[in-house]
Chains A and B, each alone.
Chain A
Amino acid sequence: MKHLGAIGKHTFLIIASFISLFPFAWMITGMTNSSSDIVKGKFSFGSEFMNNVNKLFDTADVATAFTNSFVIAIVSTLLTLILCSMAGYGFEVYRTKGTDRLFGLLMLSMMMPFAAIMIPLFKLFSTWGLLNSATAVILPGMTTAFMIFFFLQNTKSFPRELLQAGRVDGLNELKLFTHIYVPTMKPTYAAAAIITFMANWNNFLWPLIALQSPEKKTLPLVVSSLASSYNPDYGIIMVAIIITTIPTIIIFFLLQKQFVQGMLGSVK
């Protein structure tokens, strides 16, 4: 009876893992096959890989899209870390009734659906003449209530005695933050960086609206437009999907521990 339970458990988990991993295997074999083979459901390695790569680079400016995505994701992540950690630290360490109220108000923005704010955002950036620029993609996403909340939650476990010790040593309040808080909270920053990078790297709707000209497009936009053409070439799409996925997979495997901890930190 006990063995039966264990077999049942493993069977269930093996099926679940198989379903989870299958699309990855599908995309990896897919990039080596021609579009017609992929659409016919061929699930084995072919010899079309280089051909697909060459065709992809002829069809779309993937290098530019990669650079655009990379610049947007990196700059957004840096700004998010600076601004949201300052806010999370400020709201927790120097909390007053006033800042608590402001924090509560900011949290409301987590409930606002993006669709409800995208038109005014579009108009705002159009008035500023910033549409079709990386700046338009970076600005609205660099401070999120979620990330402020994330840093605030993690600051709760930050040892305050360190701040006292720093004050005794004559550091001013800004230096306490930059010289004591930031180095102590490295793991929190790492987790926040991964989450933010991934969110920005994979972002679709706002870049779709804000970026119009081909040379400004990010990878998800390129992948989407390749796939929405009348007669999509799945061979080159698979290569494009792989290129889009590799950075996040690498980050995940390198920093798996921080990534998982980071997600948990937000609900502690």
Chain B
Amino acid sequence: MRGKFNKSSLIGWQFVLLPSALILLFSFYPMIQSFILSFESGKGNVSHFVGLGNYTRLFSDPMFLQALFNTLLYLVIQVPIMLILGLVIAHLLNSPKLKLKGFYRTAIFLPCVTALVSYSILFKSMFAVDGIFNQMLLNLHIINEPVAWLLDPVWARVVIILAITWRWTGYNMIFYLSAMQNVDPSVYEAASIDGASKFRQFVSITIPMLKPIILFTAIISTNGTLQLFDEVVNITNGGPGNSTMTISQYIYNLSFVYTPNFGYAATVSYAIVVIVAVLAVLQLKVGGEKK
């Protein structure tokens, strides 16, 4: 039957041609343009060829290095926390006898329907100096005076990490939960009979079985974190003193906030492209060898 379908390949091309052309026009063409731009420099529309000038500037640009550091910091801390938390919650929700399962699942998933802008502003208001978070900590006598969370470089980063974790943990949890439901329960029964503890079963059965899904969520989360923009802009606007700024925000600032320098902005954007590519290859190497 397959062979018969293959004969009609011309029809297949008719179905895929227009959508493919649109992706080529709105993704691949700009990618190539960006690459060409990255060899030019100048303000506004007057630009000239500078060869590798932008690329050498990159490594001595303190603002870029700061944004790169921040972005990688979010990545290294937030992604593992979120994925492990998602796995643990999914594992708990997967136990057959658990009551209130539906409530927990909906509650933990609900943050995923909020707009990135909206939840960012909610977090900004909750972590204000006299905000609800300080009030609660004061009432619980954990702190003696309000902390200016968003004005401290370290705490501001913590708030951003908390916010992203709040928004996305449920998203990853849903993927894990569905994959867990596809695992045959008899595997666990056999392990129980062999005397494996619940924790041991989680580590030795659940996680290996879920490897492809974990890899998938790791890649999309990494990708998302490297492109972090909405949250940082709306919670701290990159401050205090650029300590929370991400690469995406720096590119935006270079293009639309400071005196526009599209060429250098394009160069910075290729830094993300390189990191995304390297990490994707690494993750596939580490996680995908047996697939």
Contacts and interface: CB of A to CB of B under 8 A. Distances in A.
Interface of A: 5, 9-10, 12-13, 16-17, 19-21, 23-24, 26-27, 30, 38-41, 43, 83-84, 86-87, 89-91, 93-96, 98-99, 102-103, 106, 109-124, 139-140, 142-145, 148, 160, 164, 173, 177, 198, 201-202, 204-205, 209, 219-220, 223-224, 227-228, 234, 237-238, 241, 244-245, 248-249, 251-252, 256, 260, 263-264, 267
B204 interface: no
A98 B277 CA distance: 25
Nearest to A241: B118
Nearest to A86: B15
B149 interface: no
A161 B103 CA distance: 41
Given A96-B12, A99-B12, A116-B270, A237 B247 contact: no
A263 B198 CA distance: 28
Nearest to A27: B122
B158 interface: no
A84 B14 CA distance: 13
Given A87-B15, A90-B16, A119-B255, A124 B23 contact: no
Contacts of A209: 252, 256
B130 A39 contact: yes
Contacts of B136: 41
A120 B22 contact: no
Interface stretch (B31-39, B56-64, B185-193): B31-39
B183 interface: no
B12 A106 contact: no
Interface in B170-184: 170-171, 174-175, 178-179
Interface string B219-245: 000010011011001100100000000
22 contacts: A13-B100, A17-B104, A23-B111, A23-B123, A24-B110, A39-B130, A41-B128, A41-B132, A41-B133, A41-B135, A87-B15, A94-B8, A95-B6, A106-B20, A112-B276, A115-B269, A118-B269, A123-B33, A173-B11, A228-B237, A238-B125, A245-B114
Contacts of B134: 41
Contact of A39 (B14, B29, B131, B175): B131
Contacts of A84: 19
A223 B116 CA distance: 11
A116 B12 contact: no
Nearest to A21: B107
B31 A112 contact: yes
A13 B92 contact: yes
Nearest to B175: A267
A256 B18 CA distance: 32
A117 B34 contact: yes
B132 A26 contact: yes
A95 B15 CA distance: 11
A249 B107 CA distance: 12
Contacts of B227: 113-115
Contacts of B118: 27, 220, 223, 241, 244-245
B144 to A, nearest CB: 16
Contacts of A202: 114-117
Contact of B216 (A95, A109, A267): A267
User: Considering the complex of A and B, which 3 residue pairs feature the smallest CB-CB distances, nearest first?
Assistant: A94-B12, A90-B15, A120-B33
Contacts of B140: none
Contact of B22 (A17, A142, A204): A142
A237 B123 CA distance: 13
B13 interface: yes
Which one of B119, B170, B226, B247 has the highest number of Cβ atoms from chain A below 10 Å of its Cβ? Answer: B119
